[in-house]
Structure 1
Amino acid sequence: MTAARKIATPVTLARELAIEWQLIDPDTPPAPTPIQRALDILRPHLAWDHRYRETP
């Protein structure tokens, strides 16, 4: 009987390699993506558009 293997996405694979090669600290959460940072900056200016409002 074979054990179920976890399929690694390119992002998780890159993170696992970076941890293994001691390039990053495994306890540190990943930084936000450039798109997420842009939305964080622009969200107050886009509040009039319902698509960009934060949901409570």
Structure 2
Amino acid sequence: MELNWTEEFRAYAVRIALTSGLTCKLVASDLGVTDAQIRMLTLYVLWNAEEVPS
């Protein structure tokens, strides 16, 4: 399954996952995706980022 998320959605999802204090499961539920997708997206962004998004 290919994910056609916009860059804005990806940035928003990662920002919420990292700064909200909510679990990945709650963030995912709010965004209509799976918690595994949020975890993988966050790890991917952190692994490839030169600095942590704020």
Q: Same fold (TM over 0.5)?
A: no
Larger Rg belongs to: 1
| TM-score in terms of structure 1 length | 0.29
| TM-score in terms of structure 2 length | 0.30
Task: Tell me which of the two structures has the higher relative contact order, counting C-alpha pairs closer than 8 angstroms and 6 or more residues apart.
Answer: 2
